[in-house]
């Protein structure tokens, strides 16, 4: 993945590995992180949303050792959310947006003399396994699941637009994409199964796919 | 639903991985054991030691709790045939171990839904479900019979199978979602002890089955692949790793898969529910030529018997040759959700690790029948115990003739 500034408002990232993911997340959090000598920068906050226990903790701990005292705030700024369906995802995204808005407002209104140099908190939302969430909702109500998917992605894009680059979303894809082997059976099956959620996001909402 | 937990808090609250008491397996899992907040599947033929592994996990869980002074609660869930209680008396006698008997897939689903909604103070840190796959197989078979009744002749067989697979995936996803919710909420480790099934059910069977597969001529009824690389390419093949490692290109490869995958609802979209599994461990038998016989067997072009748990006794060995040594192997799959990922080590995620485990020692004599164990005294076990004759497991049908095929407990 790229540097935070280069990340578009909504990025679909595939394929990924735990090592790559951990490295990108640590890059995002370590660059520009708040140190004892520098109080002008707000720490970045990472919201990791996933249905299963999939945060690459081992790999991340190798890159950002927990026993280093200065790294503690980095771990404090990673929020893990377990979300199993689109309803829960919608609520979680709403709360994140609300929290981000509050933080930005408080930073802008801060009355310390260094407030001029203060930048709003940068937030990165990483959504892993959105296909599972969609599938779980799709089982009970297909139309509602589609509506929620659209509204969530629209909301993310809208918030990113109004926050001027300080609110970005990365959707991690588990999609296998086009089979490399060129197996006709696999291609037929993929055609039969229709577009995946990731195809849909890539086509209509993501700035681009990595 | 709660709104996020800081990672620092999660790390503090996260319990240490639960050791399986098999150091080789702990290492192969990569984390030193089974992690909390996760679901693991253990599958294998009867008698390979799945229930023993489950009992050892409960023991380890209790020992860890007593070491830290915070003994958690463990739940043992029986499904079909109750677990043999020979070596489990200590487990059953513990007040921290609870027992429940569930005989339907839907019962299990409702049970976990109630657990999710139950008081957080009374949660389980370890849940072992013995014979989980049998519930799923029965459930799929029920769906199949209903499907046959509702649309007897019109529907093509392939359509029926596709539909069954869809139903299986949907229901397993629903169940595993609920299980995952509970497991993550309470840092609970859920262990599923499953049967295995041969590759007669594998997904990409060619139409000309006989040309690609053959049946072992030693009396066992396993389908085996004609070459080490001719499997379906799935991550569920059992035994291929060890045999391929020996470089025997012409050797038959035993391919056993979890009964969750290989059943009447076989299909291509198992990844939809497999993503909920943190790891999958296949416990299988493998056969190594007896010492001193390997070279001679190689010279004769003989192939060691690799037909699962159907023992080749010394009497069966022809002439002066000895029976092959039986070894127990574990095939460990992790990162089941990372389909296309290439790990940082250059090793493709999803490829299994194969480790050799010590053989299970001979079980001691079970207690006399007049001495009921604590498990059987629990009020939840009110249903009559099914006999092996009325509820045979899938894999025991496949494995066949061994007399001591009960779990060695």
User: Which of A53, A91, A97, A193 to probe by mutation at the B interface, max B CB count within 10 Å?
Assistant: A53
In three-state secondary structure terms, B279 is: strand
Please report the pLDDT score of residue B263 as a whole number: 83
- Please count the other Cβ atoms lying within 10 Å of the Cβ belonging to residue B7: 22
Q: What is the mean pLDDT of residues B161-188?
A: 89
Measured between CA atoms, the residue of chain A closest to residue B206 is A185
CB contact under 8 Å between B204 and A82, yes or no, is no
CB contact under 8 Å between B5 and A139, yes or no, is no
Please report the pLDDT score of residue B375 as a whole number: 44
Stated as kind and residue range, the H or E segment containing B246 is: none
CB contact under 8 Å between B5 and A79, yes or no, is yes
Indicate the burial class of B116 (C-beta count within 10 angstroms; 0-12, 13-18, 19 or more): middle
Separation CA B201–CA B199 (nearest Å): 5
Please report the pLDDT score of residue B176 as a whole number: 94
Q: Are B190 and B179 in contact (CB under 8 A)?
A: yes
Of B135 and B404, the structure prediction assigns the larger pLDDT to B135
Q: Residue B173: its chain A contacts at CB < 8 A?
A: 132, 135-136, 139
Size of interface A-B (CB pairs under 8 A): 114
**B46-75: pLDDT as tens digits:** 888 899 999 999 999 998 877 666 678 999
Q: Quick check: ipTM above 0.95?
A: no
Please report the pLDDT score of residue A145 as a whole number: 94
Please report the pLDDT score of residue B153 as a whole number: 59
What angle (nearest 5°) sits at the alpha carbon of residue B10, between those of residues B7 and B14?
145
Separation CA B409–CA B405 (nearest Å): 11
| A183 touches B: beta carbon within 8 Å | no
Nearest to A21 by CA among A44, A46, A55, A67: A55
User: Which of B33, B341, B343, B351 to probe by mutation at the A interface, max A CB count within 10 Å?
Assistant: B341
Separation CA A29–CA B294 (nearest Å): 57
Stated as kind and residue range, the H or E segment containing B225 is: strand B223-225
Q: Residue A77: its chain B contacts at CB < 8 A?
A: 6
Separation CA B341–CA A71 (nearest Å): 28
Separation CA B42–CA B235 (nearest Å): 14
pLDDT cut 70: percent of chain B above it: 56
Task: Give the CA distances from residue B311 to residues A210, B219, B318, in Å, rounded to whole numbers and listed in that order.
Answer: 52, 12, 15
Separation CA B83–CA B409 (nearest Å): 8
Measured between CA atoms, the residue of chain B closest to residue A180 is B340
Q: Are B21 and B55 in contact (CB under 8 A)?
A: no
- Residue B346, C-beta contacts closer than 8 angstroms, at least 6 positions apart: none
Burial B161-170 (b: 16+ CB within 10 A, else e): bbbbbebbbb
Please report the pLDDT score of residue B68 as a whole number: 64
Of A80, A85, A139, the CB nearest to B10: A80
| A63 touches B: beta carbon within 8 Å | no
CB contact under 8 Å between A132 and B272, yes or no, is yes
Within 13 Å, how many C-alpha atoms sit on residue A75's CB side?
A: 20
Instruction: Reply yes or no on whether the pLDDT at B261 is more than 70.
Output: yes
Q: What is the mean pLDDT of residues B218-247?
A: 41
Please report the pLDDT score of residue B11 as a whole number: 87
Q: Residue B338: its chain A contacts at CB < 8 A?
A: 16-18, 174
Q: Residue B4: its chain A contacts at CB < 8 A?
A: 47, 79-81, 92
Nearest to A78 by CA among A67, A88, A64: A64
Worst-scoring range by mean pLDDT, A7-11, A205-209, B86-90, B125-129?
B86-90
Nearest to B407 by CA among B283, B319, B251: B283
Spans of chain A below 50 pLDDT: 36, 39, 113-119, 178-183, 186
Instruction: Reply yes or no on whether the pLDDT at B2 is more than 60.
Output: no
CB contact under 8 Å between A16 and B341, yes or no, is yes
DSSP A83-103: --SHHHHHHHHHHHHHHHHHH
CB contact under 8 Å between B4 and A79, yes or no, is yes
CB contact under 8 Å between B1 and A75, yes or no, is no
**B381-404: pLDDT as tens digits:** 323 222 333 333 333 333 333 333
Measured between CA atoms, the residue of chain A closest to residue B8 is A75
In three-state secondary structure terms, B96 is: coil
CB contact under 8 Å between A78 and B6, yes or no, is yes
- Please count the other Cβ atoms lying within 10 Å of the Cβ belonging to residue B290: 17
Of B105 and A194, the structure prediction assigns the larger pLDDT to B105
Q: Are B364 and B87 in contact (CB under 8 A)?
A: yes
Of B11, B278, B343, the CB nearest to A75: B11
Instruction: Reply yes or no on whether the pLDDT at B110 is more than 90.
Output: yes
Please report the pLDDT score of residue B213 as a whole number: 46
Of A85 and B243, the structure prediction assigns the larger pLDDT to A85
Please report the pLDDT score of residue B366 as a whole number: 47
**B303-322: pLDDT as tens digits:** 444 434 333 333 444 445 56
Of A19, A55, A92, the CB nearest to B3: A92
């Amino acid at each position: 993945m790229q540097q935070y500034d280069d990340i578009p408002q909504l990025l679909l990232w595939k394929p990924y590995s735990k090592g790559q993911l951990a490295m990108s997340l640590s890059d995002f959090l370590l660059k520009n992180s708040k140190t004892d000598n520098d109080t002008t920068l707000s720490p970045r906050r990472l919201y990791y949303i996933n249905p299963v226990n999939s945060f690459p903790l081992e790999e991340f701990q190798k890159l950002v050792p927990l026993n280093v005292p200065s790294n503690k705030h980095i771990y404090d700024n990673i929020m893990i959310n377990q979300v199993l369906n689109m309803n829960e995802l919608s609520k979680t995204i709403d709360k994140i947006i609300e929290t981000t808005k509050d933080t930005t407002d408080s930073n802008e209104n801060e009355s310390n003399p260094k407030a001029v140099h203060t930048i709003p908190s940068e937030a990165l939302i990483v959504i892993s396994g959105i296909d599972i969430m969609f599938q779980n909702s799709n089982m009970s109500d297909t139309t509602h699941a589609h509506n929620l998917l659209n509204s969530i992605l629209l909301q993310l894009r809208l918030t990113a637009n109004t926050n001027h680059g300080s609110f970005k979303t990365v959707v991690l894809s588990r999609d296998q994409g086009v089979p490399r082997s060129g197996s006709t059976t696999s291609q037929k099956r993929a055609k039969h199964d229709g577009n995946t959620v990731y195809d849909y996001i890539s086509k209509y909402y993501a700035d681009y796919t990595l | 639903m709660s709104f996020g937990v800081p990672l620092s808090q999660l790390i503090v609250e996260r319990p240490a991985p639960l050791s399986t008491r098999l150091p080789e397996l702990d290492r192969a899992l990569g984390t030193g054991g089974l992690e909390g907040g996760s679901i693991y599947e253990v599958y294998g033929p009867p008698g390979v030691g799945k229930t023993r592994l489950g009992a050892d996990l409960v023991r380890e869980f209790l020992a860890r709790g007593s070491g830290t002074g915070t003994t958690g609660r463990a739940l043992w869930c029986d499904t079909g045939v109750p677990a043999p209680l020979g070596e489990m008396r200590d487990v059953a006698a513990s007040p921290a171990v609870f027992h429940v008997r569930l005989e339907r897939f839907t019962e299990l689903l409702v049970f976990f839904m109630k657990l999710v909604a139950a008081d957080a103070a009374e949660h389980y840190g370890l849940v072992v479900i013995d014979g989980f796959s049998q519930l799923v197989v029965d459930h799929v078979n029920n769906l199949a019979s209903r499907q046959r009744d509702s649309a007897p002749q019109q529907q093509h067989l392939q359509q029926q199978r596709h539909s069954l697979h869809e139903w299986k995936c949907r229901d397993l996803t629903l169940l595993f979602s609920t299980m995952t919710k509970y497991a993550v909420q309470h840092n609970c480790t859920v262990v599923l002890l499953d049967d295995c099934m041969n590759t007669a059910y594998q997904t990409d069977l060619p139409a000309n089955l006989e040309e690609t597969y053959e049946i072992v001529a030693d009396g066992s009824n396993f389908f085996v692949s004609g070459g080490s690389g001719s499997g379906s390419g799935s991550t569920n093949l059992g035994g291929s790793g060890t045999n391929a490692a020996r470089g025997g290109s012409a050797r038959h490869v035993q391919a056993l898969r979890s009964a969750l995958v290989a059943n009447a609802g076989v299909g291509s979209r198992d990844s939809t529910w497999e993503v909920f599994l943190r790891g999958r461990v296949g416990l299988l038998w493998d056969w190594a030529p007896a010492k001193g016989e390997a070279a001679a067997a190689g010279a004769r072009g003989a192939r060691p018997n690799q037909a699962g748990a159907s023992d080749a006794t010394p009497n069966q060995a022809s002439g002066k040759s000895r029976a092959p040594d039986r070894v127990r192997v574990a095939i460990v799959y992790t990162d089941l959700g990372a389909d296309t990922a290439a790990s940082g080590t250059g090793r493709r995620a999803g490829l299994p690790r194969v480790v050799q485990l010590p053989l299970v020692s001979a079980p001691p004599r079970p207690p006399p029948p007049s001495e009921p164990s604590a498990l059987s005294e629990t009020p939840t076990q009110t249903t009559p115990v099914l006999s092996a004759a009325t509820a045979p497991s899938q894999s025991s049908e496949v494995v066949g003739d061994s007399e001591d095929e009960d779990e060695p407990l």
